[in-house]
Amino acid sequence: MKYIPRRIEAELLRAGKNFSAVILTGPRRAGKTTLLRRLFPKAQYYLLEDPDVVSRLRVDPRAFIEEIRPPAILDEIQNVPEILNYVRTQVDRFSQKKGQWLLTGSQEAPLMKGVTESMTGRAAVFQLFPFSASETPKVSLLKGGFPEVLARPSIFQVWFRSYIQTYLERDVRAISSIRDLATFRRFLSLLASRCGQILNRTDLAAPLGVSVPTISEWLNILEITSQIILIPPFYENFGKRLIKSPKLYFADSGLVCYLLGIESEKMLSQSPFLGPVFEGFVASEIIKHQVNSGKLRQLYYFRDQQGLEVDFLVPEANRRLILLEAKATRTAMPERAESLHRLSKVISNYDVRSFFIYRPLRQNSPIQTIRPGMKALSVEELLTTMT
């Protein structure tokens, strides 16, 4: 597939001119290595999953690092996180040189622990997700945005099956001592069926016959490897009693469709999961937009104990707040935005903008005003309005 530019490129190049080290995290096969090798073509490349490389690093890490002539890409550094201390030594010795160490990792939390301990103030940290709809029109609700799926869409079912098997063997076992992988696979499918719902660990544990702490551990694995997104409730109550648990989504809509057994656009359009899958797609696109622009990742939902619920709230600068309702419908109806209207009426300390996000039949359909101060638009149009 021809190289598709990534929205995060400008941020990475800027960081490479101002920091000695740049760290890029994100799920496996999201395109981290391809992106860094494209942006920094003179950098030497080292894959830290190669047994020979890992062996050399563990036997004599200092000698290995000192033999490298930067700039260098160290790929999947979470496999040998102890070398961050030796990279830090080189960074400090040649602090005037920028863009020398380019590191990738697919296990964000363990890697960031090492970064916090060893590279504070020395490294710029970014996250790369699969392609967004604003990067290429090839991204779809059914197939998601993983580069290899977009390159070979006809075998997307095979690709996702292989991805899950490889992911289970590598990342899950590397992070946790999971022995019953069959139960973990059932957990993934069960989790997909809870997409868009408020997280209830007990509800997940019971049908699998495992403990709630086990469910918490498995959720943590999926979160630190950027497979799922947990959306917290908005922290201001607007005078209401709120639900406090997060909502659950998958980072890639293609993966959740595969786990749900959805194999075609027709099956998706007839599926009871169409709404939650679309909702998760909107959540993922917003987060991709934020991280690709070098902004803080800020996305929330609202639900009070009386049942008033708004899918997403996006804080912006200067006390501005975007309210979003995401529906997989092809028709924008005013009554479907009632919750947006009700919540916007009780918010007095923010400058509020409200949008109804749907799936218009045509990409360039005119933006509709469905209620006073409330517009209906596609997710792609939404992203162009966000600062």
Token couple for 119 = 């590279």
pLDDT of residue 221: 87
Q: Cβ(381)–Cβ(355) under 8 Å?
A: no
The radius of gyration of the chain's CA atoms, rounded to the nearest angstrom, is 22
pLDDT of residue 117: 64
For residues 113 and 223, state if they share a domain. Answer: no
Asked if the structure places residue 206 within a domain, the reply is yes
Averages of pLDDT over runs of 10 residues in the chain (387 residues) are 92 95 92 96 92 88 91 90 87 90 79 64 90 95 97 96 87 74 92 96 94 92 91 78 86 97 96 97 97 92 87 93 95 88 88 93 76 89 86
Find the length of the chain: 387
pLDDT of residue 99: 94
CATH code, 367: 3.40.1350
Q: Could you say which of 76, 96, 127 is where a domain stops?
A: 127
pLDDT of residue 85: 86
CA distance 20 to 37: 17
For residues 109 and 158, state if they share a domain. Answer: no
pTM for the complete prediction? 0.92
Phi, psi of 365 (to 5 degrees): -60, 145
Q: How many CB atoms lie within 10 A of CB 202?
A: 9
Q: How many CB atoms lie within 10 A of CB 244?
A: 9
For residues 38 and 113, state if they share a domain. Answer: yes
Domain span at 32: 9-127
CATH code, 71: 3.40.50.300
For residues 103 and 30, state if they share a domain. Answer: yes
CA distance 163 to 147: 12
Identify the CA nearest to 107 among candidates 252, 225, 270: 225
Token couple for 325 = 């309702």
For residues 213 and 317, state if they share a domain. Answer: no
Q: Could you say which of 97, 127, 157 is where a domain stops?
A: 127
For residues 154 and 207, state if they share a domain. Answer: yes
Contacts of 58 (CB under 8 A, 6+ apart): 80
- When divided into structural domains, the chain yields a total of 3
pLDDT of residue 23: 92
